[in-house]
Structure 1
Amino acid sequence: MRRSFSRAVLTIGIIVLTLAVAIAVGVYVLLSKADPLVDAEGCVVKTPKGELDLDIEQARIAATIAAVGERRRLPEQAIVIAYATAIQESKMYNVSYGDRDSLGVFQQRPSQGWGKKKQIMDPVYSANRFFAALVKVKNYQKLPVAEAAQAVQRSAAGYAYGPHENNARILSAAFTGRVPRAVHCTFPLKETPAAARAEEAQRDLTRALGAVSVPSIRRGWLIATWSVAHAQQYGLRRVAFDGITWSAEGWKNGGKAGSTRVELS
């Protein structure tokens, strides 16, 4: 049975609706005049090959994959293959579900010997396992990205990795440090910011990267980019390297060029 409204109730409803619209318009005007970055959260990746928008979780995972690849001294093509795989398998999120018992960034299956659930849900572990399998693929650097990824994943839809190659190359240029200051992340700042946990950040970076040394400018930018991607997690407000400093406003010149360390605060 349909409910009907009396004329009085209808009139009240119209008044309420009118007030709601007026309030909504007022809120919109206020927001349109406000700083658009106050409540923004996410990361932008900019390279000569193109631009991408990422969630902060995606940026953290991308940074972790690059750090693990660097620790294993792998060529950038290996990172590209890993990114194309992660984008296809999980959209580069650390998901706790999937087809059958598939888990994590690369949708690895405990039943197929990839590790225990807790291990696979650790992006450092899962990236290491992916790369360990990839380097066993003969001539993987010379294979098409989709073919190399499929050799590791053995997916029912192996062709699906190929379309992600361009985005994977944008990510690899940025997160391996080959393109400086390519990643900028924004997130809401608390009125009373917590103390920066720089030591904790360095400890977790060491777990993915190994020794946090800066023997080259490229590696320094890898570390700086990892730090920006993890800035929200560790309360970082400033990342400085090679005469350039990142903050909520973005990357700006300032500091000692050619630095042999990345400064976090």
Structure 2
Amino acid sequence: MRFSRGVITIAIIVVVLAVAVSVGLYHLLKRATPLAVPEAHCTVRTPEGELYLYPEQAQISATIAAVAARRRLPERAVVIAYATALQESKLYNLDYGDRDSVGVFQQRESQGWGRKKQLMDPVYATNKFFAALVKVKDYRKMPLAEAAQEVQRSAGGYAYAQHEQDAKILAAAFTGRVPQSLHCWYPPGKGSPPPPRAAEARKQLSRALGSMAITTKRRGWLIASWSVAHAEKYALSHVAYGGLTWSNDMELEGWQAGGKAGDREVALS
């Protein structure tokens, strides 16, 4: 079948235009802002490994570390608490569970842990957990699952052991032993952002930690990590400590050099 020169010319023009349109669309889409905004998230990076957390999980983790610091407990106690919470609730403050179990540690009102309203308070629940843990003889030296089971009296106490490595990663970050190991991001609200509630954030932290005095760099990084974990809740866009600053900026990776806060102050804004 033969085609006239006119038909062939038209066909060539159509092909060239199609290619041009395709190339143009490719470059346009490449430069366009993504329509799907990522959800709020946190990343923990330490020499022990890396973990991805949702904001509530980061907030619970920060609270557990703060309560442990107030009680002057060793990092091993924090690791045991994290492994227990990971198994019981995946680090969420659940208002349901097996029978009357609720909260981060799935404690039961019928077993004398406290009233449901109290158990739904992570600070209260964590204090109850640690109060029971320190009564376990040699809990620092025994296998993690055994120590956790002595507190929880679970039907499957062996399951706590599988979370030990993740618990060590969390403990390294949230106790402040590994500096600048937590980075969180949350999508800014539409329109004018709400003013930061730094005073309210400090008040809530003091419930778990007690004194806000920074006596060591480790304590300073614990406070800084707690603040970053709670940034979305209290509309914080910057946390500064030790000459470094965390910003709620998706394009920034981790803490950046700069900021007026030294080693004796965590600045929130």
Question: How many Å separate the matches in 2 of 1:95 and 1:33?
Answer: 40
Unaligned residue ranges in structure 2 (runs of 5+): 1-24
Secondary structure of 2:222's partner?
helix
Distance in 2 between residues matched to 1:186 and 1:76, nearest whole Å: 27
Structure 1 residue 251: deviation in Å? Answer: 1.0
Give TM-score, length-normalised by structure 2: 0.85
> Using the alignment, how far apart are the partners of 1:35 and 1:46 within structure 2?
26
SS of the residue 2:43 aligns to:
strand
Match of 2:264 among 232, 257, 260: 260
- Residue 68 of structure 1, CA deviation: 0.3
Q: Distance in 1 between matches of 2:48 and 2:124?
A: 30
How big is the shift at 1:39?
Answer: 3.4
Report the counterpart of residue 61 of structure 1 in structure 2: 60
Equivalent in the alignment of 2:235? 235
Distance 1:235 1:164, change over 3 A: same
CA spacing shift, 1:155–1:176, aligned 2, 3 Å: same
CA contact (8 A) 2:240 2:261 kept: no
Residue 122 in structure 1 maps to residue 121 in structure 2: yes
Work out whether 1:45 is the aligned partner of 2:44. yes
- CA RMSD, Structure 1 to Structure 2 (Å): 1.8
**1:182 aligns to 2:181 (yes or no):** yes
Q: Matches of residues 101-250 of structure 1 in structure 2 within 5 Å?
A: 101-190=100-189, 191-248=191-248, 249=252, 250=254
Following TM superposition, by how much is the alpha carbon of 1:255 offset from its aligned partner in structure 2, in angstroms? 2.9
Q: State the Cα distance separating 1:34 from its structure 2 match.
A: 2.9
Deviation at 1:259, TM superposition (A): 2.1
Secondary structure of 2:232's counterpart equals: helix
The separation in 1 between residues aligned to 2:137 and 2:148, in whole angstroms, is: 12
Query: Conserved in 1, the CA contact under 8 Å of 2:37 and 2:187?
Result: yes
C-alpha separation between the residues in 2 aligned to 1:242 and 1:150?
Answer: 39
Q: Determine what percentage of the aligned residue pairs are the same residue.
A: 63
- The answer to whether the 8 Å contact 2:80/2:148 transfers is yes
Map 1:6-21 to 2 at 5 A.
Answer: none
Work out the number of aligned pairs and report it. Answer: 238
Distance 2:240 2:262 in 1: 11
Shift of the 75–104 alpha-carbon distance from structure 1 to 2, 3 Å rule, reads: same
TM-score, scaled relative to structure 1 = 0.86
| Higher radius of gyration, 1 or 2 | 2
1:251 counterpart = 2:255: yes
Change (3 A) 1:204 1:32: farther
Runs of 4 or more above 6 Å deviation:
none
Task: Quote the offset at 1:152 in angstroms.
Answer: 0.2
For the Cα contact (< 8 Å) 1:137–1:148, is it kept in 2? Answer: yes
After superposition, the Cα gap between the structure-2 partners of 1:231 and 1:257, relative to the gap in structure 1 and judged at 3 Å, is closer
Q: Report the CA distance shift for 1:33/1:49 in structure 2 as closer, same or farther (over 3 A).
A: farther
Equivalent residues of 1:217, 1:258 under 8 A apart: no
Structure 1 position 93 matched with structure 2 position 122 = no
CA contact (8 A) 2:214 2:265 kept: yes
Shift of 1:192: 1.1
CA distance in 2, matches of 1:172, 1:35: 35
